[in-house]
Every structure is written in C-alpha cells, then in structure tokens.
Amino acid sequence: MSEAVFPVTEFEDRADRAQRLMREQGLDALLFTTEAEVRYFTGFRTLFWQSPARPWFCILPRTGKPIAIIPQIGAHLMASTWVDDIRTFAAPHPTDEGVGLLSDALNPYAVVGMPMGRESSLRMPLIDFERIKVTLPGTEFRDASALVQALRHIKSETEIAIHREICQIASRSFESAPNLFREGQSLKSAFRRFKIDLLERGADDVPYLVGGAGPGGYGDVISPPTDAPLKSGDVLMLDTGAVKNGYFCDFDRNYAIGHASDAIRQAHRKLVEAANAAAAIARPGKTCADLFNAMTDVLGQSDGGVGRMGHGLGIQLTETPSLTAFDTTVLQERMVLTLEPGLDLGKGKMMVHEENIVIRDGAPEFLSTPAEPDIPVL
Amino acid sequence: MSEAVFPVTEFEDRADRAQRLMREQGLDALLFTTEAEVRYFTGFRTLFWQSPARPWFCILPRTGKPIAIIPQIGAHLMASTWVDDIRTFAAPHPTDEGVGLLSDALNPYAVVGMPMGRESSLRMPLIDFERIKVTLPGTEFRDASALVQALRHIKSETEIAIHREICQIASRSFESAPNLFREGQSLKSAFRRFKIDLLERGADDVPYLVGGAGPGGYGDVISPPTDAPLKSGDVLMLDTGAVKNGYFCDFDRNYAIGHASDAIRQAHRKLVEAANAAAAIARPGKTCADLFNAMTDVLGQSDGGVGRMGHGLGIQLTETPSLTAFDTTVLQERMVLTLEPGLDLGKGKMMVHEENIVIRDGAPEFLSTPAEPDIPVL
C-alpha cells in the first residue's frame, strides 16, 4: 500500500519545500538511499527495507517529481505512489545492482546533495557508491543532511493527526498497566502483554519496546526484556515506539511494583516536573537548548547518561533535532518532539520519563496523555 | 540483555573463525558499523539501532576479543556481553561522534577490512568515514563482505535451535488460520490477528509481516496490508519474519477464501512441488544455482519478478547467499536457507511460497512444517 492516508498535495508540498531550499543552496538534485527519505518524498512504504539484499534509490531533481530507481520487486508498490518515473533493475544481480541506472540518472546534474552528516547512513554498498563517483567525475556530491532534516522537522497536520492517534493508543495501553503487569510476572511476559494490548487497540506495529525493572531504578534504557520476574519494590519502565500508518510514538511510563520508596516517588515527581518545565516554555522562537536547560534546572543534573533529553519524532523513532545543551535549533510550529528527562540515581541505577508534544503558536499540544507526578503503584 | 542464550564459546568460535580468515587474507582488523555484524561478534542486542541518532562501532583485531566503541548510552548493556574493551563517547556530540576514538583504535592496523560489497551499508555519516580515512592516510580499507558473509552462512546448533523454535511458532500460527482469517475481514485486521497469535505463541517480536490478497493472486510480496475486506475467491498470502532471541523465521503461506479456482490450486501445487524439488537435492556440495534451477525446472519460468527464489536466514530477515542462477555458493552443513519459488500468473498477479530449511549431511531439515500441495480453503 502506498501512503494512501496522504493526499498527493502532501508530497507536492514536500518536494516544493525541498526544491526551494535546493535552489537557494545551488543543488541540482538530491539523492536518497535510506528508507525514511525515500518514503518521505515518494510515499513508498514497505517493511521490505529490513532485507539488506537490495539497494533502493530516489532522486529529487530541482524541478518536477522524484525519480525512483529501484529493484523490480518494488515496481508494483511504487506504481501506487505519486511517482511517475520508475526505473527498475534486476536484483540481486551478479555485477550491477542499479549502479548503471543510477549513474545515468545522475548524469545531468552538476551538484548532487545527499545526507552525509549527522544521523545519516549510506544504504548501498560503499564500493558501488565509489563506482558512481568514478563514473561521474564532473559531479560534485555535497552534504544535504541539514536541508532534509529541516524539512522533516515541520510536520503537516495530517502527519500530526497520525502521531496523535498512535500516541493516544499508547496512552490507553499505559493506562491499562494494572491489567497487564503484576508481581511475579517475567519482564518478557510483561512486554509481550503490552505489545499485544497496543496491537489490539489499533497500533499497526510495535517496532520498538525496551525498558527495565529493578529496585531503586534500572540499569539502562535500551535493553530487551529478560526472564527475570517482577518483584515487589521494583521500578518497571516500558518505553515504546509503536507505529500507525508509518509514524511513531515514542514515550515511556514508570510503575512501582507493590510499593514505591520515597526516593523513587521523589525521582518520579522530579522527572514529571522537568518535562512540564520544558513544555511550559516550548514556543516558536525558543531553542532545543532552552528546553534542555529548563529540564536540567529542575533535575539539578545533566542527562543521566543518555546524552540528550528528547528529540524529534516522525517516520523514524528518533529524528533531529536533539534536546541538548549544544543544539540551538529554533523551535517552530508543527515540530513534533519528545521531552525525555533522565536522572542518574547512583549505584548504576537510573530513571527516565518521556512525553510527546507538538510545538504550537502558544502552549504546546501534548500528544501523549501527560503522566501524573505520583508514580503509579501496581 | 546480552545474548545470554549463547555460551561465551559461541562468540569465541565466531572470532576464531573470522581471525583465521583474516590471517589468510592479510587483514589486521575488521571494522563494523551495522547492527547484525556488531551483534554477531559482541552479542550486543538492542532495538535501539532503530534510532539513527548515534553511530556504533566494533573492531575485531587479528587476535583477541572485539573492541566496542560506542555511545555512553550503550555502556551498561555492552558490559553484559563477553567484550572487555569498551570505549564510550558522548553522543549526540556537537563535533565528534566517536571519530576520534575510532581513529585512535584503528591506528595500529595497516589493513582494515569492512563490509563494502553486496548487501552491505555504511551505518555512520559518510563525512565521518572520510574524516577517518584522512586521519589514517597509511591505513588501507579493504572490502571484507565475503569474509563476514561466509562466516555467517554457517550456523551453530544453538542458532539453529532458535531458528527451529521460531519457525515452529510461526507454523502453529499458520495452522491456526481458520481461527484467524475470514471473509469480510479487512486485510489489516487479518494481519493484526496473525501478529497477536505469533506473540501469544511465544514470538518475541514480529518485525516483518507483509502479504496481499486478491482474486487470481496478489500484485506483489512486499506490501503492508490495506483496509480492503477479504472476499470469497481471494488468495490470501502472509509472509512473516518473526523473531525469537534475535533470530528470524521467514516464510509465507497461501490460503483461498471461500473457494479456490483450478488455476490457483494448480499454481499452489506447482509452488510446493518446486520447493520440494529444491529440498530434494539440497546437500553439501550442491550450489545455490542448483536449487534455483531445480525450482525453475518445475515452474517452467523464472522467479516471478522477485529476483531470486530463496536466501540465507539468521540475525537478519535475509542474508546471503541468494538462490539465483548466478550464485554458485556451495552449500555446506548448517546453512539455514529459505526456499521461495514464485509464479508470475499474468495480468499483474503472482503467487509465492516459502519454506525454511537447514542443510544437513543428507536430506535437509525442514524448520518450517512443510505446506501440503493443496491450498487450504478457509
């Protein structure tokens, strides 16, 4: 299925905004090899990117629609998008997986922008990319990470509506915690029940679910669940990136199993207070660093080892910008962000808390139903 | 959680096999930036790779254990693996996301192998990779795709046992089709019910579920489900990559809704016959091309536009080798493969069928419970 949830004007608008920036920056074309960017400009959505076997390419020229240069297996699905110019190659192929077609397609352009900077990767064999550069000695390849990231910072109301829907699904699942989690249950089983609850409430998928549990906090925020049983006195945290129509939510909730110590109650209050302090000043014109500082002011410490306290959200679980002391990206209306304060509790333990918001002209809109200051006891 | 399902000897053996090949090929170290490779050599398993924000690096020197060069957020989880030398950097970072640390770590090595060829990608900013090459003018970076792929072709019995478990979970879910799918149900709802069934039966995750439905076959094999209702006469296909302990199954099943035409019955028989014909000759010493040819002989046509008729399976949904006419990889014991014959049915319709097997000394072991020739009618 193509992105039928979006009208064609959504893609026209994305291309138009990109092309305006391309003209300003002297770029003749943009080249993309990665899922999020190809989807953003074409509407081509498939889980098939999980197979590393075949490269996929998309070119956005300075005028007109994107050009798709893709393996034959994707032709039928790509034809359902707004893209007209679909060039296919046989893949796997013994000697040429799209390199010839891609070189020909890039040939007219003197300056080609592509994501090469922060948060980017090259989803094609490095050897093939080098071959293309050799084939096109007159072509300059230039970093266009910031251009594409800036575009994707600002969501359309259609994108925001999808975010809202998946955030509300996850909020309902988190509210069902008393029915899902209990002392003695293994962490793995708790995660499985939560995932099923998300699907039953309408999530299309739950690509990301991590967390932890332990007395006095957990060790990190990126681990898959173990078979260890939940014990009275544990703090349980689940952090989910669930998906609807290809867009993520990304927030977590903490629960105390049986009872909560004063230290944990206090830490939870502080985390909620920190997120609310950032939300309270989140307006167009403020910066990511401002939000970061608002949170550290409440917490009295930095980021609990996570490296930042929130980030952009969209097609990907995490997108730019980052809420750090050094990210001076200026907030604009319709940015979707996570607020994710973290506390180092000492002795290798930590706690994090996360909400999802949209920057508005005025107070931000909470997409996740905001957590109460008191940690829920299950 | 680290790969607690594996004894440390599993990782020692992987490193040892790699290092023997490195010595043969004159490589002083291997450099990895991608999830599957970092996990294969370290045991570091997390869904956090879905966040593109931070690069992760692993170096395997010619002797000794791997070196992990990772963002601080991963230090706790990496410490639970067999890796001792864990070097962390602050990420996100305004100017240096591990480039300095990585350059220092690579400095002692004259020839560094890394995946640059078929099926590889570079999961770090291209600009940062170029900076490292400039910092280390005496270092030669050489393609080591084939080396790493050859290692990963051969699974341990521990890996195979996990594959068997997830393939059997998926087989049970497919057998439950009469309880899960029905005429009038939307394809989206059918997919959701199937995913929940997989989770309830013990799958950790269902990262991949694609398919289609339609009269006389479906249009492709990579699409997410639509809201269209299943109609009598439709052929329904679901192709799942479900996961247990970080290892995939990857196979599909076809069902006829209400009734099946003779053409569809015949196509299904032919597909099952083709997979069985490949399995019948799948022995150490045969090649991938032999299996491909065994299938095309039955089908009387090539690959239905998919480009191949099976592939390796493991940590990733698809791994090398490919079952194509040109892939002459020689089969060896303990290779885990999918057999995936496809039929172009004309008028833009197709059908595919897939099984998962292990190459053994003698007849292969089916990991998926093999499909019957008659298409099940629901």
Q: What is the 3-state secondary structure (H, E, C) of chain A?
A: CCCCCCCHHHHHHHHHHHHHHHHHHCCCEEEECCHHHHHHHHCCCCHHHHCCCCCCEEEEECCCCCEEEEEHHHHHHHCCCCCCEEEEECCCCCCCCCHHHHHHHHCCCCEEEECCCCCCCECCCHHHHHHHHHHCCCCEEEECHHHHHHHHHECCHHHHHHHHHHHHHHHHHHHCHHHHCCCCCEHHHHHHHHHHHHHHCCCCEEEEEEEEEEECCECCCCCCCCCCECCCCEEEEEEEEEEECCEECCEEEEEECCCCCHHHHHHHHHHHHHHHHHHHHCCECEEHHHHHHHHHHHHCCCCCCCCCCCEECCCCCCEEEECCCCCCCECCCCEEEEECCEEEEECCEEEECCEEEECCCCCCEECCCCCCCCCCEC
Which of A136-145, A270-279, A293-302, B113-122 shows the lowest mean pLDDT across its residues? A293-302
Residue A12 pLDDT level (bands cut at 50, 70, 90):
very high
Surface of B (58-87) touching A: CB under 8 A = 71-77
H/E segment holding residue B146:
helix B145-153
Which of A148-162, A246-260, B214-228, B264-278 shows the lowest mean pLDDT across its residues? B214-228
Both tokens of B97, joined, read: 């996301």
Residue B214, φ and ψ in degrees, nearest 5: 175, 165
Is domain A157-366 annotated with CATH 3.90.230.10?
A: yes
Rounded Cα gap, residues B168 and B162, in angstroms = 10
Residue B5 pLDDT level (bands cut at 50, 70, 90):
confident
**Mean pLDDT to the nearest integer, A118-144:** 98
Average pLDDT, chain B: 96
Closest CA in chain B for residue A210: B47
Q: Is A222 on the interface with B (CB under 8 A)?
A: yes
Residue B1 pLDDT level (bands cut at 50, 70, 90):
very low
Which of B1, B220, B307 shows the shortest C-beta gap to A226?
B1
Give A311's contacts in chain B (Cβ within 8 Å). Answer: 53
Q: Best mutation site among B119, B226, B243 for testing chain A: the one with the most A CBs within 10 Å?
A: B119
Residue A47, φ and ψ in degrees, nearest 5: -75, -5
In the prediction, which pLDDT does A67 show? Answer: 98
Q: Which amino acid is at B48?
A: F
User: Would the CB atoms of B74 and A48 count as touching at under 8 Å?
Assistant: no
ipTM: 0.96
Q: Is A314 on the interface with B (CB under 8 A)?
A: no
In the prediction, which pLDDT does B23 show? Answer: 98
In the prediction, which pLDDT does A303 show? Answer: 64
Query: Which residue has tokens 């909470």?
Result: A366
In the prediction, which pLDDT does A223 show? Answer: 87
Distance from CA of A168 to the nearest CA of B (A): 18
Q: Is B159 on the interface with A (CB under 8 A)?
A: no
Residue B241 pLDDT level (bands cut at 50, 70, 90):
very high
Average pLDDT, chain A: 96
User: Would the CB atoms of B196 and A199 count as touching at under 8 Å?
Assistant: yes
Summarize pLDDT for A200-212 with one digit per residue, the tens: 999 999 999 999 9
Rounded Cα gap, residues B168 and B175, in angstroms = 10
Give A228's contacts in chain B (Cβ within 8 Å). Answer: none
Q: Is A346 on the interface with B (CB under 8 A)?
A: no
CATH class of B8-153: alpha beta
**Mean pLDDT to the nearest integer, A20-35:** 98
For CATH 3.90.230.10, list the domain ranges present in chain B: 157-366
**Mean pLDDT to the nearest integer, B65-74:** 97
Q: What percent of chain A has pLDDT over 90?
A: 95
Give B116's Cβ-side CA count (13 Å radius).
Answer: 17
Asked whether the predicted pLDDT for residue B305 surpasses 90, the reply is no
Other C-beta atoms closer than 10 Å to the C-beta of B138 total 7
Which of B53, B120, B143 shows the shortest C-beta gap to A119?
B53
In the prediction, which pLDDT does B2 show? Answer: 40
In the prediction, which pLDDT does A1 show? Answer: 37
User: Would the CB atoms of B241 and A91 count as touching at under 8 Å?
Assistant: no
Strand partners, A67: A59, A85
Both tokens of A148, joined, read: 């594409």
Cβ-Cβ contacts under 8 Å for B130 (sequence gap 6 or more): none
Q: What percent of chain B has pLDDT over 70?
A: 98
